[in-house]
Structure 1
Amino acid sequence: MITIGKPEIKRINNTVRLQAVITIGEKEDILWYAVEDKYGNFLTEDRADAFVIGLLWKALEHGYDIHVEAPISERLYFTINSFLIPIISQFYNYKKINVICEQLDSNPIPNAGAVGTGLSCGIDSFSTIYENLMNDKPKNYQITHFTFFNTGSHGRYGKNWTRVLYKNRIKITRACANELGKELIIVNSNVSQFVSFDFQATHTLRNMSAVLALQKLFNVYYYSSTYHIKDFKLSTKDSAYYDVLNLSMLSTESVNLFSTCPNFSRVDKTRLVAKFEPAYKYLNVCTRSAYNCGKCNKCLRTLLTLEMIGALENFKSLFNLKSYYLNRAKFIEKVKAEYNSDSLLKEIYDEMVRTNFLSDQK
């Protein structure tokens, strides 16, 4: 059994924490989400939604029911118990667990009506921003805030290199947010301490737990899709494959969560980003560092796509192109060999065929 205590607010130096005591068996610990002091009033201490979702993978993996000693949103309670937990449990062959709570609240939390999205400065992130800012959206669905979460994407919790990468990426993100004229909310958390699964398999719930910690701020939140909707499937490797399902299950009476650009391939998204001038200074796709190494899979995938669509010149200052050209031929062979088993490589291969790119390389 996992027991979640009543959330509380703690001020520590220049940050404000939303935290709760977590009891797993006989062991007590604290799960927390921290923001800068000026955003502290938006932390949602009167609902335990964030903690339930932050701990859901832990509970599923070990077959623990979750007992919540504080109110949670009625819609969230209904959707995860009725749909999300049974679906994931059956797919992973886990024991079906239950979230137990005697205090369900169906009232929307009064909030600032903000519209948020993550600003990782990657292709998916920039395509969401471009599509929203450059198209005519209703006022209540126009992006007002960017977010940057430390929930596991920068490496293992507590490691020194993780902190270094996190801080370096913040510098890029903060500069980009300033140029785009939007507020940037940074959420730090120790949720990774409670999740042993790989980040890719669990990122949706980790990141949405941070959004649910800010229900006094957000009315709408956009989570950038990774894959085209035609590739929808339940997957143990990457929860992004079924984000359309996840996000509908994790929305509450107070905040609506949307998967953005699900009808775009990664090649199509790269075309959008190639038209977005701020990306020429801030695009960051590397898995290894805040400077794009030019040789990891994400860098190679992005650079080859930019080259195919004739946009590499605009981004050359952001990548180690020497490394790219040293690894380019090998990566093209990888695309040709593995496109049938990798949807993102398949999109690149299809573009190669469509544009006769491979013929031009002979």
Structure 2
Amino acid sequence: MISVSNIQTRQSENRRVTRCNISGAGLPEQLVFDGTTNRILPASPTRQDWIAVALIYPAMLRGQPLHIDGPVSPTLLFNLNNDIQALLQYFNPELSKVTVTAHPTSLKSAAQGTDTGTGFSAGVDSFATLATFTEPNTPPFYRLSSLSTFNVGAMGSVSASAPLYHRYSQRVRNFASQHQLNWNTLDSNLADFYFEASANFVRTSCLRNAAAALFFQDLHKCYLYSSSYPYPDTNKSHDELGYLESVLLPLLSTENITFPLAGAGLKRTEKISKVAQFRPAHKALDVCVAPARTRMSSVQINCSRCRKCTRTMLNLDILGNLSAFSDVFDIAFFHRNRSAIIKEYEIGALKGWPLDLDVIELMRRTEYEGRLTIPAQLELTAHKAKTILRRVIPLTA
């Protein structure tokens, strides 16, 4: 059994640190969530929903029952013992059904949040959510009032993530303050509980980020989770939980907080088009997935070399908006290597990768089509794939 005990919270006006002991299954001995906000925090919450969501995947991966020596939302606890596990087993057949137990509690907690929040990575998804849910016609319940940055694995290993977390925490504080929004940051050792290859951040980001949002559920009534993929891509792959967010997120909601999926009605190219017209993004867009050391040493916000950087620059160039982002991308590098970059995404499209297909479809609908070198209808056989790969032009510095 994985047992969570000795749950202790230390709280000041705007900082909350919770530590709990973990026993069983070879996991780290302590789980820590350290959160800071610009508001005066309500009384320390008694619900431990965040722990249940944080540890359900490691428990199922080990086939060990999970017991939390504290109260968990009855709605969430019911879903954790039923449909959430059924969905996670569908996603990863290696997971085993386990029993999740916790202390009984009432349907409502004492503290009711008032904010509508979202994660702020400064990427395309989060800026598209920000642009959409701050428009004048946004209903009050969904109108964004808070931005969050969570260190739960996206910044690399726990031991190496501190400099990047400090940089990104300062970024969300500055951006939120400039735009009259509240902000939250959270540091954690949660990544140490997901050390298996089948539990890496890309595969499990939805659970990790939801756990972090639940840590602040006494501040939020609604947390808009920026979609990774549009609705037509739901269930297209088992590579990551992002393909199942539209099903999983409602099951993670509690009596106090709801998790709407934001932006899933838009393709990636449509999101980028929206972001291109959103002026706050022009000097702040950050899509880079290069290693932390590379990101920290880059002259600009983005390395402009990794796959997410080059694909975003290609999208922006097709739309005629790349020059507006000269403060965050190395545009000269893109123009020197445009042919090689196009070739890379043609190959990805032939392999059926959704985001690459999206950008190639956009090229076909615009004057950019003349730059394509692969016919529109081409079956990717092993021989043809090798031939195409040989023609890829190497990037130049």
**Aligned mate of 1:323, from 311, 327, 333:** 333
* Residues 54/167 of structure 1: CA separation in 2 closer, same or farther (3 Å cut): same
How many angstroms does 1:360 deviate by?
A: 5.2
Bigger Rg, which one: 2
Q: Which amino acid aligns with 1:126?
A: F
Match of 1:36 in 2: 36
Q: Give a deviation string over 1:73-98, Cα, whole Å, max 9, x none.
A: 01101112110112212442222112
1:84 and 2:84 are equivalent in the alignment? yes
Q: Secondary structure at the match of 2:125?
A: helix
Change (3 A) 1:239 1:106: same
Letter in 2 for 1:176: F
Per-residue deviation, 1:37? 7.2
- Which residues in structure 2 correspond to 1:1-362 (within 5 Å)? 1-5=1-5, 7-11=7-11, 15-25=15-25, 29-36=29-36, 41-42=41-42, 45-93=45-93, 94-159=95-160, 162-196=161-195, 197-233=199-235, 235-288=237-290, 289=295, 291-340=301-350, 341-359=352-370
The one-character-per-residue Cα deviations of 1:219-263 (angstroms, maximum 9, x if unpaired) are: 000010011110001744221111111111100000001110101
Report the residue type matching 1:314 in the other structure: A
Question: How many angstroms apart in 1 are the aligned matches of 2:237 and 2:51?
Answer: 24
Which stretch of structure 1 is more off in the superposition, 86-95 or 181-190?
86-95
Deviation at 1:110, TM superposition (A): 2.5
Deviation at 1:214, TM superposition (A): 1.2
Query: 1 CA distance for matches of 2:169 and 2:134?
Result: 22
User: Which of 246-255 and 98-107 deviates more?
Assistant: 98-107
- Distance in 2 between the 1:352 and 1:183 partners? 39
Separation of aligned partners in 2, 1:209 and 1:308: 37
Q: Decide which structure has greater helix share.
A: 1
1:133 is paired with a residue whose SS is: coil
Q: CA deviation at 1:42?
A: 4.4
Deviation of residue 31 (structure 1)? 1.1
Listed one character per residue, the Cα deviations across residues 168-198 of structure 1 (whole Å, up to 9, x for unaligned) are: 2333333322221112111111111111221
Query: What is the SS of the residue equivalent to 1:285?
Result: coil
Going from structure 1 to structure 2, the CA distance change for 1:11 and 1:91 (only over 3 Å counts) comes to closer
- The count of residues paired between Structure 1 and Structure 2 equals 360
The 10-residue stretch of structure 1 (100-109 or 206-215) with the greater mean CA deviation from structure 2: 100-109
Distance 1:221 1:34 in 2: 19
Indicate conservation of the 8 Å contact 2:113/2:256, yes or no.
no
Separation in structure 2 between the aligned mates of residue 26 and residue 205 of structure 1, nearest angstrom:
21
Q: CA deviation at 1:321?
A: 2.0
Task: Report the Cα distance in structure 2 between the residues aligned to 1:39 and 1:299, rounded to whole angstroms.
Answer: 34
Offset at residue 334 of structure 1 (A): 1.6
Q: 1:27 to 1:307 in 2, by over 3 A?
A: closer
Residues in 2 aligned to 1:37 and 1:357: alpha-carbon distance in whole angstroms: 45
- Cα RMSD between the aligned structures? 2.2
CA distance in 2, matches of 1:245, 1:331: 34
Higher RCO by CA contacts (8 Å cutoff, separation 6 or greater): 1
Q: Is the 8 A contact 1:152 1:199 kept in 2?
A: yes
Moved more, 165-174 or 53-62: 165-174
Structure 1 equivalent of residue 377 of structure 2 = none
Deviations 1:264-305 (A, max 9, x none): 001000111111111111111111216211111010010000
- Report if the CA contact (8 A) 2:342-2:372 is conserved: no
Deviation at 1:13, TM superposition (A): 12
Q: Are 1:118 and 1:146, in contact at CA under 8 Å, matched by a contact in 2?
A: yes
**Match of 2:260, SS?**
strand
Alignment CA distance shift 1:355-1:211 (3 Å) = same
Contact kept, 8 Å, 1:7 with 1:18, in 2: the verdict is yes
Q: Within 1, Cα distance between the matches of 2:236 and 2:303?
A: 31
Q: Which ranges of structure 1 fall in alignment gaps of 5 or more residues?
A: none
Letter in 1 for 2:368: F
Specify every segment of 5 or more residues in structure 2 that has no aligned partner in the other structure, as ranges.
374-397
- Return the offset for 1:351: 0.3
* SS of aligned partner of 1:257: coil
TM-score, normalising length from structure 2? 0.85
Give the residue type in structure 1 aligned to 2:325: F
Q: Is 2:59–2:66's contact at 8 Å kept on the other side of the alignment?
A: yes
For the residues of structure 1 that align with 2:110 and 2:202, how far apart are their CA atoms? 30
Q: State the alpha-carbon separation in 1 of the partners of residues 303 and 116 from structure 2.
A: 33
Of 103-112 and 280-289, the range deviating more from structure 2: 103-112
Q: C-alpha separation between the residues in 2 aligned to 1:14 and 1:218?
A: 15
Distance (whole Å) between structure 2 residues aligned to residue 19 and residue 39 of structure 1: 21
- 1:18-44: CA deviation from partner (whole Å, max 9, x where unpaired): 222222258772212112376573475
Contact 2:39 2:182 in 1 (8 A): no
For normalisation by structure 1, the TM-score amounts to 0.93
State the Cα distance separating 1:322 from its structure 2 match.
3.1
- CA deviation digits over 1:46-66, x for unaligned, max 9? 111100111112112111110
